[in-house]
Every structure is written in C-alpha cells, then in structure tokens.
Chains A and B, each alone.
Chain A
Amino acid sequence: MSEQAPDGSIARPPTERELLGDRAFRGLTFGFAWFTILLVVLIVGAIGWQAWPVLQRFGADPLTSDKWDGKENFGIQPEIWGTVYSSVIGVGIGSLLGVAVAIFLTQDFIPPRIEVFIKNVVELLAAIPSVVYGLWGIFVVIPFIRPSCEWLHGHLGWVPFFGTRLSGPGVLPAALVLAIMVLPTVSAISRDAIAAVPPKLREAAYGLGATRWEAIRAVILPTASRGIYGAIILAFGRALGETMALAMLVGNSSTLSWSVFSPANTLAALIANKFPESSTLERGMLMYAALVLLAITLLVNLAGTVILRRARLFPQGAAK
C-alpha cells in the first residue's frame, strides 16, 4: 500500500490479484480449521484400524479376562481396573487439594500479592514433565510413605485397602503423584468457576449473618458446583490417560486387588512397557488396549467439556 492515490490518500480499492489472494487465504484457513475436525476422526480411525484384526478375532473377551500370555490370551481386565482405581484415588486427593486452593485464592483469605504467588506456583506444577514426576516418585515418594504404609498394613491389615505390603511401586505412590499432576487442572478451572459467582450472593449471605465458612459452604460452592464438577471430570480424563509417571510407579503387574499397596497396571502403562518388545499379534492387542483407552478418555472428556460449557452458558445465581 505504498503507492499513493492522486488525492494524497493512501486508501485505494484492492486490486484483482489482492482479491484473488484474499480468497485463497480464506480457503486456506478454512481448510486448516476443518483439518482439526478431521484429526479427531483420523485418530479414531488410525487406532481402530490397527486394532481391527484383534477386535475381530477376540471380540469383547479381553475386557473380562485377566490372562495374558502373548499368544492365545489377552486379558486387560486388571489394566482397566488399575487405570480406574488409581485415577479415582488420585483425582480424589487432587480434587480435595485443588478445590481447597481454589477457595483459598478467591475468598480474600490472604493479600492479593500472595494469592498471585500461590497461583503461579500451582501453575508451575503443571509444567513439570511427567517423567520427572516419575523419577521423583521413585526416589522420594516411595521411601517417604513406606513407614506409614508398613504401620497401616501391620495394624489395619484386615481392611481390604491395606491388605498387602508395599513392596516398592504400587497403586498408592502412583495415585499420590497423579494427585499432584491433576491438582493444577482442578484448581485453575474451579478457581474460574468460583470467581464467576456473583459477589452479591456472598454479600447477601454475609448480610444474613453467615460466617465466612457458612457463606462458602452454603452459597458459593453450590453456585459454582457445576464448574467444579466439570473440573474434576476433566482431571479424571487426564489421570486416565497419564502414562509415564504410572509406568514408573504403579508396578506393572496384572493384579486385581483392592489393596492400595499392591502393585497394579494401567492401560497406558501396559502399552508403554510392552510395546518395544512385542510380537505382531501382541502389538495388535496393545492397539486394542489403546482403542479402549481412547474410548474411555474421549467419553470422560466429552462429559467434562459439555458440563463446563453448560456451566458457562447458564450460570447459576446470575440475575435473570
């Protein structure tokens, strides 16, 4: 746009070539936007295609069997159990901490400057790579919790959760590290949900004589509940698919047990550990496990996204 028109203005209508370029560029962006949708289809297709031969041969049997010999039997029931069990414990602990942080950072407990500091620290938790958490889990978490676990097993061994000894890796260390990894997700999304509660609701509660905790429990948390549930479900989706920290900490043993000290296995850890030295048939079976994992995580993420969208579109407690 350097050439000037006779009247001194730099404005001029676009040339034929520029209009053509405009149409091409618009088409390009449209194409890439569509490609994002295509990616989801492509992922489902590529994994489904690799799993197809095994799916045809075994049907749904592997879902309910716990035998794996690499030739005839491919049972992934223990892995499905381990995935869900470790995620439930991890997300349970992580949500408790995450929601506490979210409340602590939004309800004027501390000066704003410290609020920002804590928020940044918790966000940095999300930045640490999962393989580093795995290394930390092996050398810090397991030795640290071992004495308490021994005590619990010794004194409360009749409780199914403490039924076995902690031999090293196991469900509990894996779940604790998972809790730390999902904490930033829970706290960030819950914080947004709590911050979106109209201030007049809180003021009204205080005006009626509620203490700070009563206002939080009876007014603020129920109003923000949809957002918080959405956060927890999304965190659950993350936990289900988390691989490295679990592959390093969960023990990689196909065990079905209620004990949190027992070694176990998860779908993602199974794939990561077995893949490098697997036969063709076994590789197909791992793709089957990948397909199951994909289905579970897609469903959970879908639910979380939909809940959060509803929470945003129809905020509770807002003036009608």
Chain B
Amino acid sequence: MSIVTAEQRDEHKVDLPQLEKSLRHVRTLNSAIMTVVIGGLSVLAMVPLASVLWMLLRRGSERLSLALFTELPPAAGMSGGGIGNALLGTLEVVAIATLISVPFGILAAVFLAEFGPDTKTASAVRFCAKLLTGLPSILAGVFAYGLVVLTTGTFSAPAAGVALALLMIPTVLLTAEEAIRMVPARMREAALGLGATRTQMVLRVTLPTALPGILTGVMLAVARAAGETAPLLFTALFTDYWLTANVMEPTPSLAVLIYDFSGSPFPNQIEIAWAASLVLVFLVLLLNIGGQVLTRRHLRK
C-alpha cells in the first residue's frame, strides 16, 4: 500500500489509441504482413506436390496402356516396350521384405507394449528403433550386400528383401507398439480374469483389437519400401528379362528402372520412366491413403 502520486497515475494510464486494431499501427501492420508471409510460404510448400502430380499425369499417361504392363523394357534405341517384369519384381521384393519385417516388428512391439514396457531393454530397443528410422537407405543396401550378396555369391531378390526389411522394421515396430498400447486395459484384465495366460491374451484379445493400427504402420512401411531405389542397386540390381522360378538371381524393379531410364538419351525410354513413375506413385499413394483411412476409422471407434 504505497501512496500513488498524480504523475505516477498518469504514467500507468492505458494509451487507448494503442489498442486500436488498425493497419495504420506499425504493430498491427507487422502482424498482418507476417500472416501473409506465413500463408504464402505454406501455399508455396504445396506447389511441388501439385507440380509432381501434374507432370506424372501428363507425361506418365502418354504411355498408359495394356502393353505397358505386359511387355519387357525397351532396349536402347528401340520403340515400344513396357514395365511388366519390373512391376512383378517390385511386388516380389516388397513381399519378401514384408514377410521378414512384419513378424519381427510385431513380436518386438509386443514385448515393448505388453511384457516389459518399463524395462531397460525396452527403452534401449525404442532408442535403437528411432536411430534405425534415420538410417540412410543406401547403407541398408550396403549392409545387405555384405551380409547376403557376398555370402550367397549372387545379386538376388532375398538380398533386396533383407535391405528393405531393415528399413521397414522401425516403422512397423513403433506404430505397432503405439497401437497395442491403445487397447483398453479392461479388455486385457477381462482376458486375464478368465484365466488366460498373457500369451493367450495377446494373441486373442490385444493383437486382434490393435490390428487396424498395426496394419496402418505396415502399409506405410510397405509404401516406403516400394519406392526405395538405393538399396536395390546393391542387392537386386536389374534385369531386362522376366522373373524365373529361381529367386537367387538379379531381379528388376520399378524404382531401378526409373533411375536407369531417367538419364537415357532416348525419348522412348524416358517416356517409359515417366509411365513407371506414375504407376509407382499410384501404388504408393494408394497404400498411404489406405493407411490414413484405416487410422481415422480406428480412432472414430
């Protein structure tokens, strides 16, 4: 309780015109300008996606026909041709990677979410998984080259599967853990109360309930793997021929085909590269949007 003099009171008087929200004031003007700048930058950030999609539709659709999916890639200087073997090769390699990474990721996630969520092992595993998400894809290729290609003596689809699986595992693992954690505790308790072992609880209650969330992670991981190129250069390589029953031989893929043809001097091969990109992006976006729809439906429940 101090005595306030008249002058002091005047100093504390609110300057009412200062509060007016008019662009004549520097502060409001500043704020308005920054709003425009931020909005402009955000719109700018969306231009590339629009441009990529537009180019894919315009240049990729030129060659879109049945022949594209049933023929082999054209040799240098030849006309016609398609991406049939590359599409099959991509599917084969991604299928192998999924078969390796999904059981791996889910089992490790079950440990993290159910059996030892607060153990030191669990935090070390989470840390390593996060580090692995930042592993450059080319190093996954180098790793699989040393581990599989050098040991088996040949470039092959399984080698590529190992490389891609390495890139998929962290995504599958981390999203599966998240999904399993979201299963309500009362469902677990009900299962345990009926005398189920923890394993039965996991297999019959937790995992089926968490399935949509787990699938989202798997779809995102598959989408990423399908577009990876660098690891394939060291593992699957490429071939101009159809796949055979023998998996232990070089395997073609859409991604490597796009890379090889992008630097080609022949317009026909460049057209094929754009068409292959369109098909690849279509596949990848389909998986991504599928994953997002699945999550949204899961959250709404």
Chain A residues with CB under 8 Å of chain B are 1, 10-14, 18-19, 21-22, 25-26, 28-30, 32-37, 39-40, 42-43, 46-47, 49-50, 96-98, 100-101, 103-105, 109, 118, 120-125, 127-136, 138-140, 180, 183, 187, 209, 211-214, 216, 234, 237-238, 240-244, 247-248, 268, 271-272, 275-276, 287, 290, 293-294, 297-298, 300-302, 304-305
Encoded as 1 (CB less than 8 Å from any A CB) or 0, chain B from 191 to 233 comes to: 0011111111011000000000000000000011011111001
Q: How far is the CB of B277 from chain A (nearest CB, A)?
A: 5
Chain B residues with CB under 8 Å of chain A are 18-19, 27-28, 30-31, 34-35, 37-39, 41-42, 44-46, 48-49, 51-52, 55-56, 59, 104, 107-108, 110-112, 114-116, 121-122, 124-125, 127-132, 134-140, 142-143, 146-147, 166, 169, 173, 193-200, 202-203, 223-224, 226-230, 233-234, 237, 255, 258-259, 262-263, 273-274, 277, 280-281, 284-285, 288, 292
Specify the chain A residue showing the minimal Cβ separation from B140: A43
Contacting residue for B255 out of A129, A187, A290, CB 8 A: A129
Q: Is the CB of A1 within 8 A of B196?
A: yes
Known: A22-B199, A29-B111, A29-B115. A140 touches B55 (CB 8 A): yes
Q: Is the CB of A271 within 8 A of B138?
A: yes
29 residue pairs of the A-B complex, CB under 8 angstroms, read: A10-B194, A13-B195, A14-B196, A14-B197, A22-B199, A26-B198, A32-B104, A35-B108, A36-B132, A37-B124, A39-B132, A50-B142, A50-B146, A103-B38, A125-B49, A127-B224, A129-B228, A129-B255, A131-B229, A132-B277, A211-B28, A212-B31, A244-B230, A247-B230, A268-B138, A293-B139, A297-B134, A298-B131, A300-B134
- Tell me which residues across on chain B come within 8 A of A121, comparing CB atoms: 46, 49
Contacting residue for B125 out of A37, A238, A276, CB 8 A: A37
Q: Is the CB of A136 within 8 A of B51?
A: yes
- Tell me which residues across on chain A come within 8 A of B52, comparing CB atoms: 128, 132-133, 136
